[in-house]
Amino acid sequence: MRNIFLFIRRYFNFLFFLALQVLALSFLFRYNKFHEAAFMGVASEVTGRINARYNNVEYYFKLKKANEALVQENLRLREQLRSNYQPADTAVQLVVDSIRVDSLLRFQKYHYMEAMVVGGFVTTQTNFYTIHRGSDQGVKVDMAVIGPSGIVGRVVNVSANFATVMSVLSRQFRVDAKLKNSGERGTVGWDGVDPHYVQMRNVSKSVEVKRGDTIMTSELSSIFPPNILIGTVDTFYNDPSSNFHTLKLKTTTNFSTVQYVYLAQNSQLEEQKLLEAATKKTNE
Q: How far apart are CA 14 and CA 8, in angstroms?
A: 9
Is the pLDDT reported for residue 225 higher than 50?
Answer: yes
pLDDT in tens, 49-87: 564 565 566 556 666 766 776 777 677 676 666 656 555
| 186 vs 88, higher pLDDT | 186
Q: Judge whether 202 and 186 are in contact, CB under 8 Å.
A: yes
In the chain, what percentage of residues exceed pLDDT 70?
73
Q: What are phi and psi of 13, to 5 degrees?
A: -60, -45
CATH code for the part of the protein at 110-268: 2.40.10.340
Q: How far apart are CA 17 and CA 190, in angstroms?
A: 78
Dihedral angle sign, alpha carbons of residues 15, 16, 17, 22: positive
pLDDT at 92: 45
Q: Judge whether 213 and 180 are in contact, CB under 8 Å.
A: yes
- pLDDT, average across residues 138-150: 91
* Cβ within 8 Å of residue 130, ≥6 positions away: 117, 118, 119, 120, 162, 163, 164, 165
Q: How far apart are CA 115 and CA 13, in angstroms?
A: 65
pLDDT in tens, 85-134: 555 444 444 444 444 444 545 567 888 888 888 888 777 888 889 988 88
pLDDT at 58: 59
| 207 vs 76, higher pLDDT | 207
Is the pLDDT reported for residue 179 higher than 90?
Answer: yes
Specify whether the backbone of 199 is left (phi greater than 0), alpha (psi in -120 to 50) or beta.
beta
Q: How far apart are CA 217 and CA 208, in angstroms?
A: 19
Q: Judge whether 174 and 189 are in contact, CB under 8 Å.
A: yes
Q: How far apart are CA 278 and CA 284, in angstroms?
A: 10
Picking from 161, 173, 158, the residue whose alpha carbon sits closest to that of residue 265 is 158
DSSP-assigned beta bridge partners for residue 256: none
Q: Which of 75-79, 126-130, 237-241, 270-274 has the lowest mean pLDDT?
A: 75-79
Q: Judge whether 152 and 146 are in contact, CB under 8 Å.
A: yes
| 114 vs 241, higher pLDDT | 114
| CATH 2.40.10.340 placement within the chain | 110-268
Give the pairing of strands 126-131 and 110-120: antiparallel
Q: What is the mean pLDDT of the chain?
A: 79
Q: How confident is the model at residue 175 (pLDDT cuts 50, 70, 90)?
A: very high
Q: How far apart are CA 193 and CA 170, in angstroms?
A: 10
| 123 vs 247, higher pLDDT | 247
DSSP-assigned beta bridge partners for residue 244: 204
pLDDT at 66: 62
Q: How confident is the model at residue 251 (pLDDT cuts 50, 70, 90)?
A: very high
From residue 119, give the alpha-carbon distance in Å to each of 127, 141, 260. Answer: 11, 18, 11
